[in-house]
Amino acid sequence: MLTHYIFEQMGKAKFKKLADKTYFGTIPGVSGVWANARTMSECKKELQEVFEDWMVLSLKKDKKIRGFSFTLDKRYLVKNA
């Protein structure tokens, strides 16, 4: 489910070539997630890494992520620790 969501959002990513010949990428609707690299493939890879980090931090802080939800049964985690 997480991989599918990341893949889906990366499909919405927007990239542009800047005047300095580097590539800049963002994911529309995801504030603060961007990447800049020398090549398009490096930019895509960096953007995905930044997005994944952003998701982890958001989930850790119990922030809602538009279009993504999951349920965590803490009783199961404690029982099987």
Place of tokens 């489910």: 1
Maximum separation of any 2 CA atoms in the chain, in Å: 56
Fold classification of 2-79 (topology level): Double Stranded RNA Binding Domain (3.30.160)
pTM comes to 0.78
Per-residue model confidence as pLDDT tens for the chain (81 residues): 678 889 999 999 999 999 999 999 999 999 899 999 999 999 999 999 999 999 888 878 777 767 666 666 666 555 554
24 burial (CB, 10 Å; 0-12 / 13-18 / 19+) is: middle
- The region, left, alpha or beta by phi > 0 then psi within -120 to 50, assigned to residue 27 is beta
Map out the domains of the chain as residue ranges.
2-79
Give me the pLDDT at residue 7, please.
92
CA atoms of 29 and 57, how far apart (whole Å): 17
Give me the pLDDT at residue 58, please.
83
